[in-house]
A and B are shown apart, each in its own frame.
Chain A
Amino acid sequence: KAGVTQTPRYLIKTRGQQVTLSCSPISGHRSVSWYQQTPGQGLQFLFEYFSETQRNKGNFPGRFSGRQFSNSRSEMNVSTLELGDSALYLCASSYNGGWGNLNTEAFFGQGTRLTVV
């Protein structure tokens, strides 16, 4: 079956602009999580969506937001971009996101490399 698809793969934006990233999970997976990866901070959890509801949220400012659609596809939006938002943004899908002790693995997309100039 098809893997997790993230679009676009690369993006260059100017400070102050906004950006929307897209993630299509594996068919049948209802949990989508977003992570920000930078050399200094490593993989930082942004938020998780399950059945169109935000179930968990990381410690990021309100400029970072997301949503999930009825087909489980998810988007994340970053408004008023700052230089420090330059990072690899990774999306992960899983069947249940670990709730209920199902011990399920996460499948990651290839990421979107965002550069803010």
Chain B
Amino acid sequence: SQQGEEDPQALSIQEGENATMNCSYKTSINNLQWYRQNSGRGLVHLILIRSNEREKHSGRLRVTLDTSKKSSSLLITASRAADTASYFCATESGNTPLVFGKGTRLSVIA
């Protein structure tokens, strides 16, 4: 069953613009993670934010977490064509495995 739900399902932007993706989840979590998947390949871990953190940065990535609203956002600044991929949020709760949302498909047009 899906825990996280990403929004939007698909996003198309011009190179240089910022891309924002949102994730909502249902139960309390230990952490929330964002992954990227290039077409038909494995997932690559981008960033992990713990339940007691509110914001985290990594390069051009900025993640926020609002546990009261059970939501997170991923911001990619100054997007590049190479950022074209699907982005998934995944939540970790207690001793259960990572549960993934259905992803946001990002297209960055050069």
Contacts and interface: CB of A to CB of B under 8 A. Distances in A.
Interface of A: 4, 6, 33, 35, 42-43, 45, 48, 55-56, 59, 88, 90, 92, 97-99, 101, 103, 105-111, 113
A11 B102 CA distance: 24
B59 interface: no
B41 A98 contact: no
Contacts, number: 62
A101 B48 CA distance: 13
Q: Provide the main secondary structure of the chain A interface.
A: strand
Interface residues of B, number: 26
Contacts of A105: 33, 45, 48
B45 A111 contact: no
Interface in B40-59: 40-45, 48, 50
B110 to A, nearest CB: 26
Contacts of A97: 97
B41 A56 contact: no
